[in-house]
Structure 1
Amino acid sequence: MMASLLSLLSWMGLWSSPLRVLNSDTPPINITVTPTQMVGMTSVFMDILVENFVTEDGRRVSYLALENSDIYSTNFLEMGALLKKVDPLQMDEAERKSFFINLYNLLTIHALVSMNRLPSSTLSVTDFWRRFAYQVGPYTLHLDDIEHGILRDNRPHPTTGTVFFGATDPRLALSVAADHRIHAALNCGALGCSPLTSYSPRQQLDQDLDDAMKRLCNTSVTLKNDNTLVINSIFKWFSSDFADSEALTLRFLADCVDDPQIKRSLLKAAQGTLSFTYHYDWTLNAVSGVGGRVKIEVYFESLCPDSVHFFTHQLYPTWLDLRDIMDLVFVPFGKARATPTGTGDYEFECQHGPDECYGNKVMSCAQESLPIHTQMEFFHCMMSKPYPASTGEQCSKTVRIEWAPIDECSKSSVGSSLLYKNGIRTSALKPRVYFIPTIVIDGHYNDNQLKNSLADLKSQICNAYQGPPHQGCF
């Protein structure tokens, strides 16, 4: 209810979310780049993201895979640090256009990955386009600043009428001549958006934008069986960017599309003799993991009978069949409570007593040092024993890993700190944890999904999997 109210107030211009400048805290970097080099770097970085984390058609992004990659933990930081050192006014207009197209798409991706949980839609995030920003040289620019202030030559926002740069705003100098083709290049994080690709200011920029516009036109109009048209809402919201009236925008579309039947239908719609509607798919353009891998988070306790049953009857058998399409994350903490001691350590109270706290610490320490496949074997070994919390040393021999470092960690403040972090992650889960184990699939869970995961995890993963056919899911 509160989120809906804030969204309404934001839409009315009566409230705005606190601005998050995603590169505000990036550490200094001892590299100097010219504005032209920065343009090239953002283009190359966009290329890397598209190649590694975007589906072949450019329409879906593996946000969760990106979150767990070195590219996110390192390259975004480096780019953010360099952005603060460059003056975009030193770029020529073609450089600025390609730079800010790429930067808009990078900022959208960065904003979504930076959130605690992926939303179902960017539209469901209050003030999304005015909440996230980059510092670029001396300028702070959020998504709406980039799209409407710079790339649309400071034209008013189509729904609120907001003009983002006032007459005395120094950012006004960043604006480039309005170009309707930018709507075929910007990606807002929704399935209705234009495909993601990289743009550069070389001679083919105009050709690339022409090609993108052609793609947008040919994927934006559907002729239904009842002979009515459904048109991408971009051509309604930004009609004035394409032509002087809605009828002329429909004629623009007719000139742009290739299908003869749709072309004729658009001309009839422009004449008022054929009905049409607008539609936009705001569903988040997310795909699971690399190549469709499904992210599974398991929130559990070392002495919880339900956790033991889930490990032995669901998780481990499913892992053996589907591990190549699973991004598995363990969160040992459960319904424990943590209290800072004031000395850099923590005291824990666990649902099944102190031994469970120790078992959770052992697993938290193992998480820090072992690859996921070894974690799985180690944890499965522990959870298969009559009293899992005390079987770490025995299972380390079974799995052939060193016990001493894990033992030392689990008995120190390091282990406490690692367990405390798992507690923070558990407490941040929404809806809040009410049952252990809790299984989160691709950042989401609800009552029905949890019940189904506890009974048949394999089916839940196969249903969420969006990659190529997998033999384990037949």
Structure 2
Amino acid sequence: MHNALSRYVTLFATLILFSSDVLAAPKSELWPIWDSSNETNSTAFDHSKWQQILDAYLTEQGQHTLFNYGAVTKQDNALLDQYLSDLTALDPRNYRQSEQFAYWVNLYNALTVKLILDEYPIKSITKLGGFLSFGPWDDKVTTVAGQALTLNDIEHRILRPIWNDSRIHYAVNCASLGCPNLAKTAFTAKNTESLLDAAATQFTNSPKGATISDNTLTLSSIYDWYGVDFGDNEQAILSQIDEYRDGKPLKGWTGKIKYDYDWSLNKP
């Protein structure tokens, strides 16, 4: 009995440590092999298949855009597979950096949708991944230019360190209600700036971005996990949110600040 209890306590302690570790936000650390481009190449990636998927299954509901995973047909599932196959057959380093940004954001979002579709129905993306994993972000989910990649690789070793743009957090989608919305339009080199600004504006003005109730300001946990990308301190983060947010400025807030995030699946 004593040995069984000891094993239980040890396992419980391991789970606590493991959980705190997986929930820690990954740092922005460049994977150097991806930091190159061919600015003389005027060719654009074809994201039309991804746009067809978005047009067919993404709907607006209040502050959310929701993806109707349960309605995806076999034909459209195959279309998504073909899009991912077409995209990953190309080496993004042979393209302009502006094309690369759209490539990586669309790839991340399309892969996330595919991961959900492969396991649907599920209640949350956090239920995916290996044993004791909190989601699939460290799983190898694709191969580009001979390199096996995880979603975390794309976001934290490619997008964040190469572009150093906090709006990236508004562009990549984790299939959750608390996440900035999956854009209704596929990213391209031409529309990237407008889509990033639109995403930042939408999120910062939504209840899941920032809400005030009495003396408490509730912010998305994104500003806690990735605060370093938004500012050096809490007031600097609030100032950056204010750049896109309408109404009363948050900078100078002296009340309580807490963080929240809804991991429920972004489905109708």
Report the TM range for the smaller structure's normalisation: 0.7 to 0.9
| Residue 121 (str. 1) matches residue 108 (str. 2) | no
Give the counterpart of 2:101 among 75, 97, 101. 97
Which residues of structure 1 form unaligned runs of 5+? 14-33, 154-175, 288-474
Q: Where does residue 223 of structure 1 map in the other structure? A: 212
**Change in 2 beyond 3 A, CA 1:84/1:96:** closer
Return the alpha-carbon distance in structure 2 between the equivalents of residues 49 and 56 of structure 1.
15
Return the alpha-carbon distance in structure 1 between the equivalents of residues 145 and 106 of structure 2.
16
Return the alpha-carbon distance in structure 2 between the equivalents of residues 62 and 132 of structure 1.
25
Q: Where does residue 4 of structure 2 map in the other structure? A: none
* Equivalent AA in structure 2 for residue 53 of structure 1: Y
**Change in 2 beyond 3 A, CA 1:134/1:228:** same
| Residue 278 (str. 1) matches residue 259 (str. 2) | yes
**Change in 2 beyond 3 A, CA 1:239/1:210:** same
* Equivalent AA in structure 2 for residue 180 of structure 1: S
CA contact (8 A) 1:228 1:274 kept: yes
Q: Where does residue 63 of structure 1 map in the other structure? A: 69
Q: Where does residue 251 of structure 2 map in the other structure? A: 267
Deviation readout 1:377-405 (Å, 9 max, x if unpaired): xxxxxxxxxxxxxxxxxxxxxxxxxxxxx
Q: Where does residue 29 of structure 2 map in the other structure? A: none
Matched residue SS, 1:180: coil
* Equivalent AA in structure 1 for residue 154 of structure 2: I
Which residues of structure 2 form unaligned runs of 5+? 1-7, 23-40
**Change in 2 beyond 3 A, CA 1:51/1:84:** closer
Superposed displacement of residue 267, structure 1 = 2.4
Q: Where does residue 144 of structure 1 map in the other structure? A: 152
| Residue 192 (str. 1) matches residue 192 (str. 2) | no
Return the alpha-carbon distance in structure 1 between the equivalents of residues 43 and 117 of structure 2.
27
Q: Where does residue 207 of structure 1 map in the other structure? A: 194
Q: Which deviates further from its counterpart, 44-53 or 87-96?
A: 44-53
Return the alpha-carbon distance in structure 2 between the equivalents of residues 6 and 77 of structure 1.
35
Give the counterpart of 1:81 among 85, 88, 91. 85
Deviation readout 1:39-73 (Å, 9 max, x if unpaired): 223xx23321221111135621111211x33110x
**Change in 2 beyond 3 A, CA 1:79/1:6:** farther
Give the counterpart of 2:222 among 223, 227, 234. 234
Return the alpha-carbon distance in structure 1 between the equivalents of residues 100 and 20 of structure 2.
29
Superposed displacement of residue 147, structure 1 = 0.6
1:321-332 paired onto structure 2 within 5 Å: none
**Change in 2 beyond 3 A, CA 1:250/1:112:** same
* Equivalent AA in structure 2 for residue 178 of structure 1: N
Q: Where does residue 35 of structure 2 map in the other structure? A: none
Return the alpha-carbon distance in structure 1 between the equivalents of residues 102 and 246 of structure 2.
27
* Equivalent AA in structure 1 for residue 172 of structure 2: L
Return the alpha-carbon distance in structure 1 between the equivalents of residues 158 and 117 of structure 2.
24
**Change in 2 beyond 3 A, CA 1:82/1:196:** same
**Change in 2 beyond 3 A, CA 1:148/1:9:** same
Superposed displacement of residue 35, structure 1 = 9.5
Give the counterpart of 1:107 among 85, 92, 111. 111
Structure-1-length-normalised TM-score = 0.45
Return the alpha-carbon distance in structure 2 between the equivalents of residues 12 and 227 of structure 1.
31
Superposed displacement of residue 256, structure 1 = 2.5
Give the counterpart of 2:245 among 257, 267, 276. 257
**Change in 2 beyond 3 A, CA 1:212/1:122:** same
CA contact (8 A) 1:151 1:177 kept: yes
CA contact (8 A) 1:104 1:146 kept: yes
**Change in 2 beyond 3 A, CA 1:8/1:285:** farther
**Change in 2 beyond 3 A, CA 1:65/1:35:** farther
Return the alpha-carbon distance in structure 2 between the equivalents of residues 118 and 128 of structure 1.
16
Return the alpha-carbon distance in structure 2 between the equivalents of residues 132 and 62 of structure 1.
25
Superposed displacement of residue 212, structure 1 = 1.3
Q: Where does residue 413 of structure 1 map in the other structure? A: none
- Number of residue equivalences: 230
Structure-2-length-normalised TM-score = 0.77
Return the alpha-carbon distance in structure 2 between the equivalents of residues 191 and 104 of structure 1.
17
| Residue 48 (str. 1) matches residue 32 (str. 2) | no
Identity over the aligned pairs, expressed in percent? Answer: 29
Return the alpha-carbon distance in structure 2 between the equivalents of residues 149 and 131 of structure 1.
14
Deviation readout 1:262-313 (Å, 9 max, x if unpaired): x2xx2232xxx211211111111122xxxxxxxxxxxxxxxxxxxxxxxxxx
Matched residue SS, 2:193: helix
CA contact (8 A) 1:111 1:132 kept: no
